[in-house]
Structure 1
Amino acid sequence: MKFLRSLIVGVAAFACVAAHAEDPKELNFGIISTDASSTLRQRWQPLIDDLNKKTGLHVKAFFATDYAGIIEGMRFNKVQIGYFGNASAMEAVDRSNGEIFVKTVTADGSGGYKSLLITNVNSRFKTLDDVFKNTKDVNLGWGDPNSTSGTLIPGYDLFAKRGVTVNSATFKTVLPSSHEANLLAVVNDKIDVATNNTMELDRLKMQHPDKFAQVRVLWTSPLIPSDPLVWRKDLPQDTKDKLRDFFVNYAKTDPHEKEVMKNLTTFSGFVASSDAQLLPIRQVALFQLKQKIEADKNLSDADRKTQTAAIDAKLTALNNEAPKQ
C-alpha cells in the first residue's frame, strides 16, 4: 500500500512537471491596427493557419482598435506573440516583458521601409515648402501614437527638425488614424497631407494602380528597420524554438507560402533579429524628449540642465552600443 501511494504521488508529480513543460494550449497573436480588423484578418489568417499546422501550436489572431491595445494585451499576458512596428515594439519590450525574435524582410531585400508624407496628386501642396509656409492652413492626417512611420519618425525627422510641433495649435486640424484610412483620405482628396509609409504605398500600387496614381509623395524618411515580431520572454523554450523555426524558414521555397506573403504585404519572409534593432528608434525617441524638455517653459534652468544631461548620458550609452562600421 505504501509503495502504491508513493507510485501515485510520483506519477502525479511527473504529470505536474510535464504539464508545465508543455507548450501553452493557446497563444494569441496580436497584430497592430495598421488597417481595419477585417482586412488584417484576411491577410494574416493564412499565415496563422500554416503556423498552427506546422508547429502543432494553437495560435489565434488578436486585433485591437489601436497599437496600445496590443501592447497592453502583451503586458497582461493576453497576447503572447505580436507583430509590431519598431516604436510599438519598443513599448512592448520596455513595458510588456517582450523580446524581438525575428523581423520581416521586404520583397526588394532592403531590410526596411520608409516613412512618407503624402498628398493628392491634384492638391494645392506641390512641395514641402507649401506645407510649411502656413501650417495653420493644413489638415494633417497623423498616425497612431505608437506608430513608427506614422508618428515617431515624421514627428522627429520631418517636423521637429523644422521646429514644428504637431498639434491643433500648429495645424488647422490633426486627425490621428490608421495608415489605410489616411491613405484613402488622400486618394479621395479628403485631407490635405498625411503620414504613411512605403509598404502601404507599394501595396496600393500593386492592388489598385488607379488609386496609386492619385498620390503624390512630398517627403521620404531615411530607412527604418523592418517590422519585428515580439514574443513574451516567459514563453516555454520549446514554444520559442517552434515559433522561431517556423518564421525564419517560412516562404523560402514553398509556392503557397510565397503567395501568402505576397498577399500579406510587401514582405518576402522573416529573418532572425533581436532587441538591438531598436537602437535607432530609441535614439530618435530620446532626441524628441530632449527637445520637449528644452522647450518646456515650466522647468527651471537647473531642472532643464539636469534632465537634458541625463538624456545625453543615455544617448552616449546607446551610441556605444551601436556596431562599429
Structure 2
Amino acid sequence: MLINHVKKWTLGLSLGLIVATALSSCGQQETAQQTNQTTANGDEACAPEITEIDFGILSTESQDTLKPKWDPFVKAIETAIGRKLNAFYATDYGAVVEAMAVNKVQLAWLGGKSYIEAADRADAEVFARVVNADGTKGYYSHLITTVDHPILGKINIEKGDGDQYVTKNAPELTFAFNDPNSTSGYLIPSYYVFAKNSVDPTKIFKKVIFAGNHEATIQAVANKQVDVASNSSEVLANVEASDPELRKKIQIIWTSPEIPSDPVAYRKDLPDCLKEKVKDFVYNYKDKTILEPLGWSGFEAAEDKDWNPMRELKIGTEILEVQNDAKLPEAEKQQKLKELNEKLETLK
C-alpha cells in the first residue's frame, strides 16, 4: 500500500546580528547546491511521502513455487527505487486486478487478458514486456493430457490436431481451465478451440472445472482428475526444470498461435519520478542469476496498443457467444453484436 507520511521539519536556526551578509549568502548557495544534488539523485525529491509500493504477481503457480523465484527480483527493484516493495502473491488472477483498482497494488506483472482488464478497470498503464531467456518475445497456449491417455491413439501428435478431437468428443471428456482471467489458460483456447468451432466449453464436456492456476491444471491431468486441460508453454518449461518427472507425464496435443509476452504495468497515478525510476531499472536489468529462474533474459519497452490483438480475440469470442445464443431475443442479439463490432472498429 502507499503510505503517506507528512514530514514535519522544524528549523532551529538562530542567526546572530553580527553574522556577515557574505557568510549568509555562501550558506544559501551551499543549501541550493545540496538541494540540486538531491533532486539529481532522485532521493528526497522523488515523492518522499510514498515509502512503500505493492507489487502484484499473478498466480500462475502456487505461492510456494513463485516466491523463491520472485523474491530476489522484488528485492532488486526495492533497492533501485529506494523504498520498500511489498510482493503481493495473488490467490487468483482477478485478485491482482481488483487490488490495483482500489490502489492496493501500484505495480504488477500481468498476463495479456488480465492487463486488458486492469487497463479498463484499474487505471493500469503498461510500460514493459518480458523477453524470454531464449530471446523470444512470446509464448503459447496448449491443450495437454497424460502420455498414456487412450485418446492419444486417435490424435496426430505431430500435426497437433488434438483440439479437433477434443471438441468432437467433448461429451466423453472432462476438462480443466486454470483461471477465467488467464490469457493462455482461458482466453486463447476459448477463442481458437471453442468459439471458432461454435461450441460452448461449459456445456459440451462431461465436466469442466477451473483449477486456479497452470500448476494446478498440470497436477489435475497428471493425477488423472481430468482428461484434458489448458496450459502455458512458459509454465511447462518451468516444470521441466523444477520437476522433470512430472513433466514426463504430460503430453501436448494442441498449440496456439504465438501470444505476446507478459506485460508489466503500473497505475497511471504513480508519480512520474517513480515511474521513471521503475522504468530505468526494468529496461536495464540483466542479472542472469535472478532473471533465468523466471525464464527471462530481460525486458523491452511496450505500450497499450501492443495488446489490441488480445482485445480483438476477447471481443471475437464474445461475438461468437452472442451469435450462438439461441435463447437471446433477436433484437437484443443484434444490438449486442452492433456494440461489439463497434468496439472492434475502435481498435483498428
Give the TM-score, by structure 1 length: 0.87
Q: Is 1:261 aligned to 2:294, yes or no?
A: no
CA offset digits 1:163-213 (Å, max 9, x no partner) = 22111x321111112100111222333321110011011122223333222
Q: Give the equivalent residue in structure 1 for 2:313.
A: 284
Gapped runs of 5+ residues in structure 2? 1-10, 14-43, 156-161
CA offset digits 1:264-316 (Å, max 9, x no partner) = 2x221111111112101100011111112212334332332232122222212
Q: Is 1:80 aligned to 2:109, yes or no?
A: no
Q: Point out the more displaced range, 268-277 or 93-102.
A: 268-277
Q: Which whole-Å CA distance do the structure 2 matches of 1:203 and 1:245 have between them?
A: 28
Q: Which amino acid aligns with 1:106?
A: N
Q: Which whole-Å CA distance do the structure 2 matches of 1:206 and 1:112 have between them?
A: 19
Q: Is 1:213 aligned to 2:243, yes or no?
A: no
Are the equivalent residues in 2 in contact too, given 1:286–1:315 (CA < 8 A)? yes
- Aligned-pair CA distance for 1:23: 5.9
Report the CA distance shift for 1:23/1:284 in structure 2 as closer, same or farther (over 3 A).
farther
Are the equivalent residues in 1 in contact too, given 2:96–2:105 (CA < 8 A)? yes
Q: 1:189 aligns with which of 211, 215, 224?
A: 224
Q: Give the equivalent residue in structure 1 for 2:332.
A: 303
Q: Which whole-Å CA distance do the structure 2 matches of 1:123 and 1:295 have between them?
A: 32
Q: Which amino acid aligns with 1:171?
A: F
Q: Which whole-Å CA distance do the structure 2 matches of 1:111 and 1:130 have between them?
A: 30
The secondary structure found in structure 1 opposite 2:151 is coil
Q: Tell me how many residue pairs correspond in the alignment.
A: 298
CA offset digits 1:138-180 (Å, max 9, x no partner) = 111112010000000100011111222111x321111112100
Larger radius of gyration: 2
Are the equivalent residues in 2 in contact too, given 1:23–1:238 (CA < 8 A)? no
Q: Is 1:114 aligned to 2:149, yes or no?
A: no
Q: Is 1:180 aligned to 2:215, yes or no?
A: yes
Are the equivalent residues in 2 in contact too, given 1:23–1:236 (CA < 8 A)? no
Are the equivalent residues in 1 in contact too, given 2:167–2:194 (CA < 8 A)? no
Q: Is 1:98 aligned to 2:124, yes or no?
A: yes
Q: Give the equivalent residue in structure 2 for 1:45.
A: 71
CA RMSD of aligned residues (A): 2.0
Gapped runs of 5+ residues in structure 1? 8-17, 252-256, 321-325
- Aligned-pair CA distance for 1:20: 8.5
Q: Give the equivalent residue in structure 2 for 1:131.
A: 166
Q: Which whole-Å CA distance do the structure 2 matches of 1:208 and 1:98 have between them?
A: 35
Q: Give the equivalent residue in structure 2 for 1:293.
A: 322
Q: Is 1:156 aligned to 2:182, yes or no?
A: no
Q: Is 1:89 aligned to 2:115, yes or no?
A: yes
Q: Which whole-Å CA distance do the structure 2 matches of 1:272 and 1:20 have between them?
A: 22
Give the TM-score, by structure 2 length: 0.81
Q: Which whole-Å CA distance do the structure 2 matches of 1:99 and 1:250 have between them?
A: 20
- Aligned-pair CA distance for 1:51: 1.1
The secondary structure found in structure 2 opposite 1:102 is strand
Q: Which whole-Å CA distance do the structure 1 matches of 2:337 and 2:303 have between them?
A: 28
CA offset digits 1:204-225 (Å, max 9, x no partner) = 2223333222211111000100
Q: Which whole-Å CA distance do the structure 2 matches of 1:283 and 1:149 have between them?
A: 15
Q: Give the equivalent residue in structure 2 for 1:12.
A: none
Q: Point out the more displaced range, 199-208 or 236-245.
A: 199-208
Q: Give the equivalent residue in structure 2 for 1:170.
A: 204
Q: Which whole-Å CA distance do the structure 1 matches of 2:215 and 2:165 have between them?
A: 24
Q: Which whole-Å CA distance do the structure 2 matches of 1:286 and 1:185 have between them?
A: 30
The secondary structure found in structure 2 opposite 1:217 is strand
The secondary structure found in structure 2 opposite 1:125 is helix
Q: Which whole-Å CA distance do the structure 2 matches of 1:259 and 1:22 have between them?
A: 31
